[in-house]
Structure 1
Amino acid sequence: MARKYDAKQLINKLRTGQLGADEKSILESWYIVWGGDKEIDLDEDDLVKTLEQVESELPQLVRKNKKLTYWPRYVAAAATIILAISIFLFLFNRPQKANQQFATHITPITPGKNGARLILSNGRTIVLNAADKGPLAADGGSTVSKADEGQLKYVENDKHGNANTSNTLITSRGEQYRLLLPDGTKVYLNAGSSLKYPTSFSGAEKRAVELKGEGYFEVAKDAHHPFIVSSAGQEVEVLGTHFDISSYPDDAKALTTLLEGSVRINDKLLKPGQQAVVTAHQLKIFDTDAQSAIAWTKGRFHFNGENITGIMRCISRWYNIEVTFKGDMRGKDFAGGFSRYDDVSTILDLLASTNHLHYTIEGRRVTIMN
């Protein structure tokens, strides 16, 4: 079955101009095998439909994809190769016609990037991707600015700011952003998450924020004003520490991982290198590899024996894809890591080969099959 997916991947690379010299040789060898004088017993109607789909897409591909211009003399050859491989895949997949996706329109699945929306206290929304660097607004006694690409910064204008004035930072699927709160606390917001926070902590007894999704916090020390994160039915209270909270609505549990300092979760004390797992019915504390929990802040995924279903939820948020499963996924676990900027097919190939799984990609929909 592996050859089927390799073939599709090479066709995708041919279409996007990312085909290497060795891969080009493989395609040409397939053409020799399947595009020569060999007689092939095919269902003519199905084959004609397949080839017509490929032929109809080829002119658009040549016009739109400038990367193909480094083969200016071989456009016809490229067409021949695509048609020949279409025949090859048709034969190879003939019993499973539902998986013949090589002639459909292919939407590139790109990794996530810096991006977010900021909602001010008056309801105004600022799309940060489109905003220039510099001051964006004055709100509740603080000035909010876009400091760098992918970072928002708050500076209190005086010590009489309004702690009741809140802003909300929202990342969509496929986005991440960094935030510097007015007290100096640093927050990294992962994909598909939101953080609601005061624009000023002046006059407040505690520094309280609300998290949905995942955030990594480096809390500025202030012994007189505890920092409290409310998230998915739990409260995490700290004075100054580094920790990660993951509490997505589609996850059955909320995870709090401590790197340094100490935190209190629902009256339980967490030590560095420990992780609190909160479900609807209980709270448990385990020793863990804390660095794995924040690998995403350093551009990597890292998993410690997690099931493929949970892993694909993480991947789907970052690559903004829809994932479905066919078959029993119990026992399909993975331990290891990879870059968050790898091509999604590279990651899927690794996960599939490790767990003896197969997958298909159709548009932005990925199907994992046992």
Structure 2
Amino acid sequence: MTEHDYTTFTISDFLEDPDFLRYVKYQFPEDRLFWENWQAAQPENMAAFSAAELQLQLLLSTKPFKTSPGLEANLLATIHQSIAKGNKKLKVSRQKYFWAGGIAASLFVALFISWFFNSTVSIHTAFGERKKIALPDGSEVILNANSTLSYPRAYAWKEKRAVKLDGEAYFKVKHLNQDADQVKPGELFRAQTSTIEVQVLGTTFNIRERRGMAHVALVEGSVQVKSVKSGQHYQMKPGNVVQVNSRNGLLTVEKQGSLQQSAWKDGRLIVNQTTVNEILRNFEDVYGYQVILDDPALGQKKIDGSISIKSEEGLLFTLSQILNVNIQKQGKVIYLKNR
């Protein structure tokens, strides 16, 4: 159970919390015990909890549907016609309010269900920020800086598990079925960017798409990568790195390097004959600066080893020592000048 201060949650907060969703949908004993104890403390926002629980129960018992723009007008017209047939004014008045109230409540439920099933949750990280995200199915995502992860608000009730990524993220997907020969559509997990689509049952992998190139690095398990533009696909093995060009959709495979690709989540940058220009581009993507070298030839210098990227100051200091340069900041521009 993720630790949250549920006493401050609104209805929307409860509806987006994976632990609350699991409790309402599955009623696992440990979840029931937690929420029963929480309610016993009589928090001030019990009304928000009860409203969110009721709305989810309605969702679980009702198939999603969309309301047409003229539905409310037609329903009200029908009400008025039936009211006109009444004989007693008091009875007519009571019927009017009763049916109007019922229709209004039905419309509210219909609109809420339509909104819930057709809206998305988007999580964004600023420059220099990382977030750990728990998806409703128990999968985990570490979202790198300057990135956005989106998924349906009704993720737990969709026929397939699917997310969209802009930037970089490390995925640890939960297996819902260990038998690869008997796979149902809802048991597959799909992660998509503008360039690639990754399909898995449950595994650990890293996706990065920046500057016109997409990379998928498989740490464990099995992943199928497909180029959206060219249709090329490849079944990856642990350690593989697949690169796809966003412009032409060309897919290429490197047999090793997945740990190097995903080291950022541990605050490290592992470089192997990596040019300074590549390192600086990574720095710009993560921290939002423009870096200018006083001597452009330094950009072609190749570096091996492990560099800490837990802070922009630490990375810049390391580079200043390796390249023998001074650092000068002017707003969002950093100059590396020869000593």
- With the shorter chain as reference, the TM-score category is 0.5 to 0.7
Correspondent of 2:209 among 235, 238, 247: 247
Query: What is the TM-score normalised by the length of structure 1?
Result: 0.55
Q: Which structure ranks higher in relative contact order (CA pairs < 8 Å, sequence separation ≥ 6)?
A: 1
Q: 2:218: which partner in 1? A: 258
Evaluate the alpha carbon distance shift between residue 164 and residue 241 of structure 1 in structure 2; reply closer, same or farther with a 3 A threshold. Answer: farther
Q: What CA distance in whole angstroms lies between the structure 2 residues aligned with 1:288 and 1:357?
A: 33
Q: 1:299: which partner in 2? A: 267
Evaluate the alpha carbon distance shift between residue 204 and residue 342 of structure 1 in structure 2; reply closer, same or farther with a 3 A threshold. Answer: closer
Identical residues among aligned pairs (%): 28
Q: Is the 8 A contact 1:179 1:187 kept in 2?
A: yes
Give, in angstroms, the shift of residue 212 of structure 1: 0.3
Q: Is the 8 A contact 2:243 2:253 kept in 1?
A: yes
Q: What CA distance in whole angstroms lies between the structure 2 residues aligned with 1:190 and 1:284?
A: 24
Q: What CA distance in whole angstroms lies between the structure 2 residues aligned with 1:347 and 1:337?
A: 11
Give, in angstroms, the shift of residue 336 of structure 1: 1.8
Correspondent of 1:334 among 303, 306, 326: 303
Q: What CA distance in whole angstroms lies between the structure 2 residues aligned with 1:229 and 1:324?
A: 35
Larger displacement relative to structure 2 (231-240 or 357-366): 357-366
Q: Identify, as 1 or 2, the structure richer in strand.
A: 1
Q: 1:55: which partner in 2? A: none
Q: 1:312: which partner in 2? A: 280
Q: Is the 8 A contact 1:301 1:339 kept in 2?
A: yes
Q: 1:367: which partner in 2? A: 335
Q: 2:25: which partner in 1? A: 158
Q: What CA distance in whole angstroms lies between the structure 2 residues aligned with 1:153 and 1:310?
A: 40
Secondary structure class of the residue paired with 2:283: helix
Q: Is the 8 A contact 2:277 2:299 kept in 1?
A: no
Q: 1:229: which partner in 2? A: 191
Q: 2:240: which partner in 1? A: 274
Q: Does 1:238 align with 2:203?
A: no
Q: What CA distance in whole angstroms lies between the structure 1 residues aligned with 2:219 and 2:167?
A: 19
Uncovered stretches (5+) of structure 2, i.e. residues with no partner = 27-58, 61-115, 178-183, 227-232
- Aligned ranges 1:44-63 → 2 under 5 Å: none
Secondary structure class of the residue paired with 2:21: strand
Secondary structure class of the residue paired with 2:145: coil
Q: What CA distance in whole angstroms lies between the structure 1 residues aligned with 2:192 and 2:289?
A: 28
Query: What is the TM-score normalised by the length of structure 2?
Result: 0.60
Q: 1:211: which partner in 2? A: 165
Evaluate the alpha carbon distance shift between residue 360 and residue 265 of structure 1 in structure 2; reply closer, same or farther with a 3 A threshold. Answer: same
The letter of the residue matching 1:245 is I
Q: Is the 8 A contact 1:137 1:144 kept in 2?
A: no
Larger Rg belongs to: 2
Compute the RMSD of aligned alpha carbons. 2.8
Q: Is the 8 A contact 1:321 1:364 kept in 2?
A: yes
* Equivalent pairs, count: 229
Q: What CA distance in whole angstroms lies between the structure 1 residues aligned with 2:146 and 2:282?
A: 10
Q: Identify, as 1 or 2, the structure richer in helix.
A: 2
Q: Is the 8 A contact 1:299 1:341 kept in 2?
A: yes
Q: Is the 8 A contact 1:190 1:214 kept in 2?
A: yes
Q: Does 1:143 align with 2:18?
A: no
The letter of the residue matching 1:169 is I
Give, in angstroms, the shift of residue 295 of structure 1: 1.8
Q: What CA distance in whole angstroms lies between the structure 1 residues aligned with 2:301 and 2:165?
A: 30
